[in-house]
Structure 1
Amino acid sequence: MRASGYVVLLSLCLVAPFSRAAAQGDPRLERLDEATRPVVVALIDTARAVGLPVNPLVERALEGAIKGAPGATIATAVRRLAADLGRARDALGSGASPVELDAGAAALRAGAGPDVLTRLRRARGHRPVTMALAVLTDLVARGVPIDTATTAVLTLAATARDEDLVDFRRAVERDIAIGAPPAAAASIRVNAAAREARPGRP
Protein backbone atom coordinates (compact mmCIF):
# COMPACT_ATOMS: atom_id res chain seq x y z
CA MET A 1 0.00 0.00 0.00
CA ARG A 2 1.33 3.42 -0.88
CA ALA A 3 1.71 6.27 1.62
CA SER A 4 -1.74 7.66 0.91
CA GLY A 5 -3.25 4.33 1.95
CA TYR A 6 -1.53 4.56 5.32
CA VAL A 7 -2.83 8.09 5.77
CA VAL A 8 -6.39 6.91 5.19
CA LEU A 9 -6.02 4.04 7.64
CA LEU A 10 -4.44 6.25 10.30
CA SER A 11 -7.11 8.92 9.90
CA LEU A 12 -9.87 6.36 10.26
CA CYS A 13 -8.36 4.76 13.35
CA LEU A 14 -7.82 8.06 15.16
CA VAL A 15 -11.24 9.68 15.28
CA ALA A 16 -10.75 13.42 15.62
CA PRO A 17 -13.09 15.77 17.47
CA PHE A 18 -15.92 17.04 15.31
CA SER A 19 -18.31 19.98 15.38
CA ARG A 20 -21.95 19.84 16.44
CA ALA A 21 -22.97 20.42 12.82
CA ALA A 22 -20.83 17.51 11.68
CA ALA A 23 -22.19 15.32 14.45
CA GLN A 24 -25.68 15.73 13.03
CA GLY A 25 -24.38 14.22 9.79
CA ASP A 26 -26.55 12.64 7.14
CA PRO A 27 -30.19 12.57 8.32
CA ARG A 28 -30.35 8.91 7.34
CA LEU A 29 -27.96 8.19 10.19
CA GLU A 30 -30.66 9.13 12.68
CA ARG A 31 -31.56 5.43 12.54
CA LEU A 32 -28.41 4.72 14.54
CA ASP A 33 -28.54 4.78 18.32
CA GLU A 34 -27.21 7.83 20.15
CA ALA A 35 -23.96 6.14 21.14
CA THR A 36 -23.14 4.80 17.68
CA ARG A 37 -24.18 7.78 15.57
CA PRO A 38 -21.38 10.22 16.54
CA VAL A 39 -18.71 7.55 16.06
CA VAL A 40 -19.98 6.69 12.57
CA VAL A 41 -20.43 10.36 11.66
CA ALA A 42 -16.83 11.05 12.68
CA LEU A 43 -15.60 8.19 10.50
CA ILE A 44 -17.64 9.47 7.56
CA ASP A 45 -16.43 13.04 8.07
CA THR A 46 -12.84 11.79 8.09
CA ALA A 47 -13.40 9.82 4.89
CA ARG A 48 -14.96 12.87 3.25
CA ALA A 49 -11.98 14.99 4.30
CA VAL A 50 -9.56 12.70 2.46
CA GLY A 51 -11.74 12.64 -0.66
CA LEU A 52 -13.40 9.24 -0.34
CA PRO A 53 -17.03 8.66 -1.37
CA VAL A 54 -19.24 8.64 1.70
CA ASN A 55 -22.53 7.25 0.43
CA PRO A 56 -21.27 3.63 0.58
CA LEU A 57 -20.28 4.26 4.20
CA VAL A 58 -23.72 5.61 5.08
CA GLU A 59 -25.34 2.62 3.38
CA ARG A 60 -23.08 0.20 5.25
CA ALA A 61 -24.04 1.79 8.57
CA LEU A 62 -27.74 1.64 7.71
CA GLU A 63 -27.40 -1.99 6.66
CA GLY A 64 -26.01 -2.81 10.07
CA ALA A 65 -28.74 -0.84 11.82
CA ILE A 66 -31.49 -2.60 9.87
CA LYS A 67 -30.00 -5.97 10.80
CA GLY A 68 -29.85 -4.97 14.45
CA ALA A 69 -26.05 -5.21 14.66
CA PRO A 70 -24.35 -3.84 17.79
CA GLY A 71 -22.98 -0.32 17.52
CA ALA A 72 -19.37 -1.45 17.76
CA THR A 73 -19.92 -3.89 14.89
CA ILE A 74 -21.44 -1.15 12.74
CA ALA A 75 -18.54 1.22 13.43
CA THR A 76 -16.00 -1.49 12.61
CA ALA A 77 -17.75 -2.30 9.33
CA VAL A 78 -17.78 1.38 8.32
CA ARG A 79 -14.12 1.76 9.25
CA ARG A 80 -13.12 -1.31 7.24
CA LEU A 81 -15.09 -0.19 4.20
CA ALA A 82 -13.47 3.25 4.33
CA ALA A 83 -10.05 1.60 4.45
CA ASP A 84 -10.99 -0.59 1.47
CA LEU A 85 -12.13 2.47 -0.47
CA GLY A 86 -8.76 4.05 0.25
CA ARG A 87 -6.93 0.96 -0.98
CA ALA A 88 -9.10 0.90 -4.09
CA ARG A 89 -8.23 4.52 -4.83
CA ASP A 90 -4.53 3.76 -4.43
CA ALA A 91 -4.88 0.92 -6.95
CA LEU A 92 -7.23 2.59 -9.45
CA GLY A 93 -5.83 6.10 -9.30
CA SER A 94 -7.08 9.40 -7.97
CA GLY A 95 -9.30 9.88 -11.03
CA ALA A 96 -11.45 6.85 -10.24
CA SER A 97 -15.15 7.62 -9.88
CA PRO A 98 -17.10 6.89 -6.68
CA VAL A 99 -18.81 3.89 -8.30
CA GLU A 100 -15.45 2.53 -9.45
CA LEU A 101 -14.06 2.89 -5.94
CA ASP A 102 -17.10 1.13 -4.49
CA ALA A 103 -16.71 -1.72 -7.00
CA GLY A 104 -12.98 -1.82 -6.30
CA ALA A 105 -13.56 -2.10 -2.56
CA ALA A 106 -15.97 -5.00 -3.16
CA ALA A 107 -13.38 -6.76 -5.33
CA LEU A 108 -10.75 -6.35 -2.62
CA ARG A 109 -13.12 -7.87 -0.05
CA ALA A 110 -13.72 -10.76 -2.46
CA GLY A 111 -10.00 -11.52 -2.39
CA ALA A 112 -8.55 -9.61 -5.34
CA GLY A 113 -5.23 -7.93 -4.66
CA PRO A 114 -4.62 -4.23 -5.35
CA ASP A 115 -2.42 -5.25 -8.29
CA VAL A 116 -5.44 -6.88 -9.93
CA LEU A 117 -7.36 -3.61 -9.72
CA THR A 118 -4.42 -1.75 -11.24
CA ARG A 119 -4.12 -4.26 -14.10
CA LEU A 120 -7.84 -4.02 -14.83
CA ARG A 121 -7.60 -0.23 -14.84
CA ARG A 122 -4.82 -0.38 -17.41
CA ALA A 123 -6.61 -2.99 -19.51
CA ARG A 124 -9.81 -0.94 -19.70
CA GLY A 125 -7.94 2.20 -20.72
CA HIS A 126 -10.24 5.22 -20.65
CA ARG A 127 -13.36 3.08 -20.21
CA PRO A 128 -14.97 2.66 -16.79
CA VAL A 129 -13.70 -0.34 -14.88
CA THR A 130 -16.85 -0.73 -12.77
CA MET A 131 -18.41 -3.63 -14.68
CA ALA A 132 -15.17 -5.61 -14.89
CA LEU A 133 -14.75 -5.32 -11.12
CA ALA A 134 -18.40 -6.22 -10.49
CA VAL A 135 -18.17 -9.32 -12.69
CA LEU A 136 -15.01 -10.41 -10.89
CA THR A 137 -16.73 -10.03 -7.53
CA ASP A 138 -19.87 -11.83 -8.72
CA LEU A 139 -17.89 -14.77 -10.06
CA VAL A 140 -16.14 -15.24 -6.72
CA ALA A 141 -19.50 -15.04 -4.95
CA ARG A 142 -20.73 -17.89 -7.17
CA GLY A 143 -17.81 -20.08 -6.12
CA VAL A 144 -15.26 -19.39 -8.86
CA PRO A 145 -11.77 -19.38 -7.28
CA ILE A 146 -10.30 -15.89 -7.12
CA ASP A 147 -7.33 -16.79 -9.35
CA THR A 148 -9.62 -18.28 -12.02
CA ALA A 149 -12.01 -15.33 -11.86
CA THR A 150 -9.12 -12.87 -12.09
CA THR A 151 -7.60 -14.59 -15.11
CA ALA A 152 -10.97 -14.71 -16.87
CA VAL A 153 -11.83 -11.05 -16.36
CA LEU A 154 -8.33 -9.87 -17.24
CA THR A 155 -8.50 -11.94 -20.43
CA LEU A 156 -11.66 -10.10 -21.49
CA ALA A 157 -10.97 -6.66 -20.05
CA ALA A 158 -8.97 -5.16 -22.91
CA THR A 159 -11.49 -5.83 -25.69
CA ALA A 160 -14.84 -6.71 -24.13
CA ARG A 161 -17.66 -4.21 -23.82
CA ASP A 162 -19.59 -4.03 -20.58
CA GLU A 163 -22.37 -5.97 -22.34
CA ASP A 164 -19.91 -8.73 -23.22
CA LEU A 165 -18.79 -8.97 -19.60
CA VAL A 166 -22.40 -9.25 -18.42
CA ASP A 167 -23.11 -11.96 -21.01
CA PHE A 168 -20.02 -13.85 -19.85
CA ARG A 169 -21.10 -13.69 -16.21
CA ARG A 170 -24.61 -14.88 -17.05
CA ALA A 171 -23.26 -17.79 -19.09
CA VAL A 172 -21.03 -18.88 -16.21
CA GLU A 173 -23.93 -18.58 -13.77
CA ARG A 174 -26.16 -20.72 -16.01
CA ASP A 175 -23.50 -23.42 -16.27
CA ILE A 176 -23.02 -23.45 -12.50
CA ALA A 177 -26.79 -23.64 -11.98
CA ILE A 178 -26.99 -26.85 -14.01
CA GLY A 179 -24.13 -28.47 -12.14
CA ALA A 180 -20.86 -27.38 -13.76
CA PRO A 181 -17.95 -26.83 -11.36
CA PRO A 182 -17.50 -23.05 -11.00
CA ALA A 183 -13.84 -23.03 -12.04
CA ALA A 184 -14.51 -25.15 -15.13
CA ALA A 185 -17.52 -23.04 -16.10
CA ALA A 186 -15.48 -19.84 -15.99
CA SER A 187 -12.51 -21.32 -17.85
CA ILE A 188 -14.63 -22.76 -20.66
CA ARG A 189 -16.84 -19.71 -21.06
CA VAL A 190 -13.98 -17.22 -21.11
CA ASN A 191 -12.53 -18.83 -24.22
CA ALA A 192 -15.83 -18.51 -26.05
CA ALA A 193 -16.36 -14.96 -24.78
CA ALA A 194 -12.87 -13.89 -25.82
CA ARG A 195 -13.56 -15.05 -29.38
CA GLU A 196 -16.89 -13.24 -29.54
CA ALA A 197 -15.95 -10.02 -27.75
CA ARG A 198 -15.74 -7.00 -29.98
CA PRO A 199 -13.36 -4.11 -29.30
CA GLY A 200 -14.73 -1.95 -26.51
CA ARG A 201 -16.23 1.42 -27.27
CA PRO A 202 -15.88 4.48 -25.02
Structure 2
Amino acid sequence: MILAALLLVTQVATQDPRLERLDPDTRATVVAVLDSARDVGLPVEPIIQRALEGTTKGASGARIVAAVRRLAVDLGTARGALGTSASAPELEAAVAALRAGATPEVLAHLRDVRRPPLTIALSVLADLVASGVPADSAAAAVLALAPKARDADLVEFRRAVERDIALGAPPGAATSVRLNAGALDVYGTNSSSNNPNNPTRRSRP
Protein backbone atom coordinates (compact mmCIF):
# COMPACT_ATOMS: atom_id res chain seq x y z
CA MET A 1 0.00 0.00 0.00
CA ILE A 2 2.80 2.42 0.88
CA LEU A 3 4.60 1.63 -2.37
CA ALA A 4 1.40 2.15 -4.36
CA ALA A 5 0.83 5.52 -2.71
CA LEU A 6 4.39 6.61 -3.45
CA LEU A 7 4.04 5.55 -7.07
CA LEU A 8 0.80 7.53 -7.38
CA VAL A 9 2.41 10.67 -5.96
CA THR A 10 5.36 10.29 -8.31
CA GLN A 11 3.07 9.77 -11.30
CA VAL A 12 0.94 12.87 -10.60
CA ALA A 13 3.96 15.03 -9.88
CA THR A 14 5.58 13.90 -13.13
CA GLN A 15 2.46 14.86 -15.06
CA ASP A 16 3.07 18.52 -14.17
CA PRO A 17 6.79 19.31 -14.23
CA ARG A 18 6.15 22.73 -12.71
CA LEU A 19 5.76 21.03 -9.34
CA GLU A 20 9.42 20.03 -9.48
CA ARG A 21 10.17 23.54 -8.23
CA LEU A 22 8.83 22.49 -4.83
CA ASP A 23 10.92 20.59 -2.32
CA PRO A 24 10.00 16.88 -2.11
CA ASP A 25 8.01 17.05 1.14
CA THR A 26 6.06 20.13 0.07
CA ARG A 27 5.46 18.67 -3.39
CA ALA A 28 4.04 15.45 -1.94
CA THR A 29 1.58 17.38 0.22
CA VAL A 30 0.57 19.73 -2.60
CA VAL A 31 -0.01 16.75 -4.89
CA ALA A 32 -2.27 15.22 -2.25
CA VAL A 33 -4.28 18.46 -2.09
CA LEU A 34 -4.51 18.49 -5.89
CA ASP A 35 -5.72 14.90 -5.95
CA SER A 36 -8.40 15.64 -3.36
CA ALA A 37 -9.55 18.72 -5.27
CA ARG A 38 -9.63 16.82 -8.55
CA ASP A 39 -11.64 14.01 -6.97
CA VAL A 40 -14.46 16.40 -6.04
CA GLY A 41 -14.40 18.26 -9.35
CA LEU A 42 -12.60 21.43 -8.28
CA PRO A 43 -10.23 23.21 -10.68
CA VAL A 44 -6.62 22.41 -9.83
CA GLU A 45 -4.80 25.05 -11.87
CA PRO A 46 -5.46 27.84 -9.32
CA ILE A 47 -4.00 25.59 -6.61
CA ILE A 48 -0.91 24.86 -8.70
CA GLN A 49 -0.47 28.56 -9.38
CA ARG A 50 -0.74 29.36 -5.67
CA ALA A 51 1.97 26.83 -4.87
CA LEU A 52 4.24 28.21 -7.59
CA GLU A 53 3.60 31.75 -6.40
CA GLY A 54 4.79 30.75 -2.96
CA THR A 55 7.94 29.26 -4.41
CA THR A 56 8.65 32.40 -6.44
CA LYS A 57 8.25 34.53 -3.32
CA GLY A 58 10.55 32.28 -1.31
CA ALA A 59 7.83 31.12 1.09
CA SER A 60 8.54 28.16 3.32
CA GLY A 61 7.07 24.76 2.54
CA ALA A 62 4.74 25.06 5.52
CA ARG A 63 3.33 28.37 4.28
CA ILE A 64 2.86 27.02 0.76
CA VAL A 65 1.00 23.99 2.08
CA ALA A 66 -1.21 26.18 4.29
CA ALA A 67 -1.99 28.47 1.34
CA VAL A 68 -2.96 25.68 -1.06
CA ARG A 69 -5.07 23.94 1.56
CA ARG A 70 -6.90 27.16 2.34
CA LEU A 71 -7.48 27.81 -1.35
CA ALA A 72 -8.86 24.31 -1.88
CA VAL A 73 -11.29 24.83 1.01
CA ASP A 74 -12.35 28.23 -0.34
CA LEU A 75 -12.87 26.83 -3.83
CA GLY A 76 -15.10 24.16 -2.31
CA THR A 77 -17.09 26.79 -0.43
CA ALA A 78 -17.44 28.85 -3.60
CA ARG A 79 -18.60 25.85 -5.61
CA GLY A 80 -21.12 24.99 -2.90
CA ALA A 81 -22.59 28.49 -3.19
CA LEU A 82 -22.50 28.85 -6.99
CA GLY A 83 -23.37 25.30 -8.00
CA THR A 84 -21.56 22.48 -9.74
CA SER A 85 -21.72 24.14 -13.16
CA ALA A 86 -19.71 27.19 -12.04
CA SER A 87 -16.64 27.75 -14.20
CA ALA A 88 -13.08 27.98 -12.91
CA PRO A 89 -12.94 31.79 -13.44
CA GLU A 90 -16.23 32.16 -11.56
CA LEU A 91 -14.90 30.07 -8.68
CA GLU A 92 -11.68 32.07 -8.50
CA ALA A 93 -13.63 35.34 -8.49
CA ALA A 94 -15.93 33.90 -5.83
CA VAL A 95 -12.94 33.04 -3.65
CA ALA A 96 -11.76 36.65 -3.91
CA ALA A 97 -15.24 37.84 -2.93
CA LEU A 98 -15.35 35.45 0.03
CA ARG A 99 -11.96 36.61 1.23
CA ALA A 100 -13.12 40.20 0.89
CA GLY A 101 -15.93 39.46 3.34
CA ALA A 102 -18.86 38.27 1.24
CA THR A 103 -20.74 35.33 2.69
CA PRO A 104 -21.66 32.11 0.87
CA GLU A 105 -25.27 33.28 1.15
CA VAL A 106 -24.43 36.43 -0.82
CA LEU A 107 -22.81 34.31 -3.53
CA ALA A 108 -25.83 32.01 -3.68
CA HIS A 109 -28.16 35.01 -3.92
CA LEU A 110 -26.10 36.45 -6.77
CA ARG A 111 -26.33 33.10 -8.55
CA ASP A 112 -30.11 33.22 -8.23
CA VAL A 113 -30.60 36.75 -9.56
CA ARG A 114 -27.99 36.98 -12.32
CA ARG A 115 -27.43 35.05 -15.50
CA PRO A 116 -23.95 33.47 -15.72
CA PRO A 117 -21.13 34.09 -16.05
CA LEU A 118 -20.84 35.77 -12.66
CA THR A 119 -17.12 36.49 -12.90
CA ILE A 120 -17.37 40.26 -13.40
CA ALA A 121 -20.04 40.77 -10.74
CA LEU A 122 -17.98 38.84 -8.19
CA SER A 123 -14.81 40.70 -9.15
CA VAL A 124 -16.54 44.07 -8.80
CA LEU A 125 -17.72 43.08 -5.32
CA ALA A 126 -14.18 42.16 -4.26
CA ASP A 127 -12.71 45.31 -5.85
CA LEU A 128 -15.18 47.56 -4.04
CA VAL A 129 -14.16 46.09 -0.70
CA ALA A 130 -10.50 46.51 -1.63
CA SER A 131 -11.28 50.20 -2.24
CA GLY A 132 -12.56 50.56 1.32
CA VAL A 133 -16.27 49.91 0.86
CA PRO A 134 -17.68 47.83 3.75
CA ALA A 135 -18.29 44.25 2.63
CA ASP A 136 -22.01 44.34 3.39
CA SER A 137 -22.46 47.61 1.47
CA ALA A 138 -20.50 46.28 -1.51
CA ALA A 139 -22.55 43.07 -1.53
CA ALA A 140 -25.84 44.96 -1.26
CA ALA A 141 -24.89 47.24 -4.15
CA VAL A 142 -23.85 44.42 -6.47
CA LEU A 143 -26.95 42.40 -5.61
CA ALA A 144 -29.17 45.42 -6.27
CA LEU A 145 -27.68 46.00 -9.72
CA ALA A 146 -27.06 42.37 -10.67
CA PRO A 147 -30.49 41.39 -12.06
CA LYS A 148 -30.38 43.84 -14.98
CA ALA A 149 -26.98 45.54 -15.15
CA ARG A 150 -24.59 44.46 -17.88
CA ASP A 151 -21.02 43.54 -17.00
CA ALA A 152 -19.93 46.88 -18.46
CA ASP A 153 -22.42 48.68 -16.20
CA LEU A 154 -20.98 46.98 -13.13
CA VAL A 155 -17.43 47.86 -14.12
CA GLU A 156 -18.39 51.49 -14.69
CA PHE A 157 -20.19 51.53 -11.33
CA ARG A 158 -17.01 50.33 -9.63
CA ARG A 159 -14.93 52.94 -11.43
CA ALA A 160 -17.34 55.71 -10.46
CA VAL A 161 -17.23 54.69 -6.80
CA GLU A 162 -13.43 54.54 -6.89
CA ARG A 163 -13.27 58.01 -8.46
CA ASP A 164 -15.52 59.44 -5.76
CA ILE A 165 -13.42 57.81 -3.04
CA ALA A 166 -10.25 59.23 -4.60
CA LEU A 167 -11.86 62.68 -4.45
CA GLY A 168 -12.48 62.28 -0.73
CA ALA A 169 -15.95 60.75 -0.45
CA PRO A 170 -16.42 58.14 2.31
CA PRO A 171 -16.49 54.70 0.64
CA GLY A 172 -19.92 53.76 1.99
CA ALA A 173 -21.47 57.08 0.99
CA ALA A 174 -19.89 56.95 -2.46
CA THR A 175 -21.35 53.50 -3.00
CA SER A 176 -24.82 54.56 -1.87
CA VAL A 177 -24.90 57.67 -4.09
CA ARG A 178 -23.62 55.82 -7.15
CA LEU A 179 -25.99 52.92 -6.49
CA ASN A 180 -29.00 55.21 -6.51
CA ALA A 181 -27.87 56.84 -9.75
CA GLY A 182 -26.89 53.53 -11.32
CA ALA A 183 -30.13 51.81 -10.37
CA LEU A 184 -32.18 54.58 -11.92
CA ASP A 185 -30.20 54.31 -15.14
CA VAL A 186 -30.14 50.51 -15.35
CA TYR A 187 -33.74 49.91 -14.36
CA GLY A 188 -35.00 52.86 -16.31
CA THR A 189 -33.37 51.97 -19.63
CA ASN A 190 -33.33 48.16 -19.71
CA SER A 191 -36.40 45.96 -19.73
CA SER A 192 -36.52 42.38 -18.52
CA SER A 193 -37.58 41.26 -21.98
CA ASN A 194 -34.33 42.25 -23.68
CA ASN A 195 -31.74 42.14 -20.91
CA PRO A 196 -29.45 39.08 -20.96
CA ASN A 197 -29.25 39.05 -17.17
CA ASN A 198 -32.97 38.53 -16.63
CA PRO A 199 -32.95 35.81 -13.93
CA THR A 200 -36.03 34.16 -15.41
CA ARG A 201 -33.91 33.08 -18.37
CA ARG A 202 -31.21 31.33 -16.36
CA SER A 203 -30.83 28.21 -14.33
CA ARG A 204 -27.96 26.60 -12.51
CA PRO A 205 -27.96 23.51 -10.30
| Rounded Cα–Cα distance in structure 1 between residues aligned with 2:17 and 2:155 | 35
Of 153, 162, 166, the match for 2:155:
166
What's the counterpart of residue 101 of structure 1? 91
Of 51, 57, 65, the match for 1:67:
57
For 1:168, what is the secondary structure of its paired residue? helix
Deviations 1:38-65 (A, max 9, x none): 1111111210111000111111111111
| Rounded Cα–Cα distance in structure 2 between residues aligned with 1:25 and 1:86 | 24
| Rounded Cα–Cα distance in structure 2 between residues aligned with 1:184 and 1:159 | 23
Greater CA deviation, 161-170 or 41-50?
A: 41-50
What's the counterpart of residue 184 of structure 1? 173
Of 68, 75, 87, the match for 1:78:
68
Number of residue pairs matched? 185
| Rounded Cα–Cα distance in structure 2 between residues aligned with 1:59 and 1:196 | 40
Structure 1 residue 50 corresponds to structure 2 residue 40? yes
Q: Classify 1:185/1:101 alpha carbon distance in 2 versus 1 (closer, same or farther; 3 Å).
A: same
Of 94, 110, 114, the match for 2:100:
110
Letter in 2 for 1:184: A
Residue 195 of structure 1: how far off its partner (Å): 1.6
Structure 1 residue 142 corresponds to structure 2 residue 144? no
| Rounded Cα–Cα distance in structure 2 between residues aligned with 1:39 and 1:156 | 42
- The question of whether the paired residues in 2 share the 8 Å contact of 1:25 and 1:41 is answered with no
Structure 1 residue 201 corresponds to structure 2 residue 196? yes
| Rounded Cα–Cα distance in structure 1 between residues aligned with 2:41 and 2:60 | 28
What's the counterpart of residue 14 of structure 1? none
Residue 35 of structure 1: how far off its partner (Å): 2.4
Residue 176 of structure 1: how far off its partner (Å): 1.1
What's the counterpart of residue 9 of structure 1? none
Of 146, 149, 165, the match for 1:157:
146
Q: Which runs of structure 2 are paired with 1:14-25 in the superposition (5 Å)?
A: 17=5, 19=8, 20-25=10-15
**TM-score normalised by the chain length of structure 1:** 0.87
Unmatched tracts of structure 1, length 5 or more = 1-16
| Rounded Cα–Cα distance in structure 1 between residues aligned with 2:142 and 2:98 | 15
**TM-score normalised by the chain length of structure 2:** 0.86
- The question of whether the paired residues in 2 share the 8 Å contact of 1:23 and 1:42 is answered with no
For 2:23, what is the secondary structure of its paired residue? coil
| Rounded Cα–Cα distance in structure 2 between residues aligned with 1:62 and 1:173 | 32
| Rounded Cα–Cα distance in structure 2 between residues aligned with 1:138 and 1:27 | 34
| Rounded Cα–Cα distance in structure 2 between residues aligned with 1:95 and 1:71 | 33
Misfit runs of 4+, over 6 Å: none
Letter in 1 for 2:21: R
Letter in 2 for 1:40: V
Deviations 1:167-194 (A, max 9, x none): 0011111111111111111111111111
CA-atom RMSD in angstroms: 1.4
